[in-house]
Structure 1
Amino acid sequence: MIRVLLADDDPLVRSGLRLMLGGADDIEVVAEAADGSEVAALVDTYAPDLVLMDIRMPTVDGLEATQLLRERPSPPAIVMLTTFQTDEYVLRALQSGAAGFLLKHTAPGEIVAAVRRVAAGEPVLSPAVTQQLITRLTTAPDTGRRAQTLRAREALALLGDREREVAVAVGRGRTNAEIAAELYMGVPTVKAHVSHILTKLGLSNRVQIALTVHDAGEA
């Protein structure tokens, strides 16, 4: 079972998410939080595999709650939820370690599929969020973008040849199975490479690998 914690200040949203996730036989909603300030204690109590986190909450928002969770030794995966297609926190949330970002009006079946993908170690981004991310990366001021590109290229230079190939494939949005087929290696080998990349670059998840690859201009 994939154990899920819902964090949203709107009880109707939480009820809707619980209803749609409850229809899946491999997903269990173990707890609900009405604010980010409640998340840490609920994670301690219920040990969820994944947190569906509203990005805007009244006392502690989803961004701060995500940062606090990511500082823990074995944090759950985090998928951010928002009603805004152009939320100002998108890039910051992903850089903080969120494994995905979905709009609340995403179709129920897609949200269920996203939970399964993140639980399996794959990132998820809605198309609107992906476009916003690309726009932000490509419209950054020249000086800032050059420094960002240099840092990203220096990071990728730390990787071995096969690790770099896997990182670039992750940056292009490929799943482990797709990377295995493209690079003629087994899925366990791909997973091992991804783990090594995360360790070498000091990153939290595949989304951050993808951001580094994009910053380096490799995707």
Structure 2
Amino acid sequence: MIRVVVADDHAVVRRGLTGLIESTDDLEVVAVARDGSEAVDLVRRHRPDVAVMDLQMPVLDGVEATRAIVAEQAGTEVLVLTSFSDHARIDAAVEAGAVGYLLKDAEPDILLDGIRAVARGESPLDPRAARRLLTRATGAPPHAAGGAAGSGGGAPADLSPREAEVLALVVEGLLNKQIAQRLGITERTVKAHLTSAYQRIGVADRTQAALWAARHDLGGR
């Protein structure tokens, strides 16, 4: 069972998220916070697997709450759930240690899969927000990247064609389950390709891999 703390300052959102999460067999909400300070206290008390964090909250905003939770080193990962207009806060939250971010207009299944992905050690990124973050990090225009693997450009860093293809889909913001469906392979095979790719390019996590892939023209198709 994946244990979750939900943090949002809007009662309707809190209730909606709690109901959605509790409707599953493998996720449970152990606490609900109305602001960032309460979120930090509840994470400290319950030590959940995942904290679903809004960014714009009173008392302590989601960025500072994320920073405090990460500093606790209690094993809780932070998944940001916010609006697309929060550009600066999204960037700040990632720098503060959030491992993934999804937008509030995401489909329910995407959100639930995102929570599961975070608990597995993945970094789910909404494609729209991910594209902007990658653009900012690489300094390239949104559509300046070249073709992905399989378009004739070859795979850098001795990546296999399939590893490069998987990384290109990571840049698009797809979760492992979605990559598996897109490529017609198993989710376990996707994980194996990612593990191998991480070792080849010298990165430790999905976000670093996505940034590397964008810099080496593996995204943008």
Match of 1:68 in 2: 68
Letter in 2 for 1:100: G
Change (3 A) 1:188 1:108: closer
Normalization by structure 2: what TM-score? 0.69
Q: Is the 8 A contact 1:85 1:128 kept in 2?
A: no
Q: Separation in 2 of the partners of 1:37 and 1:2?
A: 23
Computed over aligned residues only, the root mean square deviation of the Cα atoms, in angstroms, reads 3.6
Q: Which moved more, 1:20-29 or 1:91-100?
A: 91-100
1:4 and 2:37 equivalent?
Answer: no
Q: Offset of 1:121 from its aligned partner?
A: 2.0
- Unmatched segments (≥5 aa) in structure 1: 142-159
- With over 3 angstroms needed to count, the CA separation of the structure-2 counterparts of 1:47 and 1:211, relative to structure 1, is same
The Cα shift of 1:105 comes to: 1.9
How far apart in 2 are the matches of 1:90 and 1:167?
27
Q: Shift of residue 92 of structure 1? A: 2.4
- Distance in 1, matches of 2:198 and 2:29, equals 28
1:50-102 C-alpha deviation (Å, 9 max, x unpaired):
01000111121111111122223343111111123452222222233212111
Aligned CA distance change for structure 1 residues 99 and 71 (closer, same or farther; 3 Å) = same
The residue aligned with 1:116 is: 116
Distance 2:158 2:71 in 1: 30
**Identical amino acids, percent of aligned pairs:** 35
CA change 1:188–1:81 in 2 (3 A) is closer
Match of 1:130 in 2: 130
How many residues are paired up? 196
Q: What CA distance in whole angstroms lies between the structure 2 residues aligned with 1:93 and 1:167? A: 28
Match of 2:52 in 1: 52
| Residue pair 1:170, 1:206 contacting (<8 A) in 2 also | no
Larger deviation, residues 18-27 vs 96-105? 96-105
Indicate how the Cα distance of structure 1 residues 136 and 195 shifts in structure 2: closer, same or farther if over 3 A, else same.
Answer: closer
SS in 2 for 1:28: strand
For residues 104-129 of structure 1, the C-alpha deviation after alignment (integer angstroms, 9 at most, x for no partner) is: 12122221121122222222122221
Three-state SS of the structure 1 residue aligned to 2:57 is coil
- Counterpart residue number, 1:144: none
Partner SS, residue 89 of structure 1: helix
Under a length normalisation based on structure 1, what TM-score does the superposition of the two structures give? 0.70
Structure 2: runs of 5 or more not aligned: 142-156
Distance in 1 (CA, whole Å) between partners of 2:164 and 2:95 is 16
Query: What residue number does 1:153 align with?
Result: none
Partner of 2:146: none
For residues 133 and 210 of structure 1, the distance between their equivalents in structure 2, rounded to whole angstroms, comes to 10
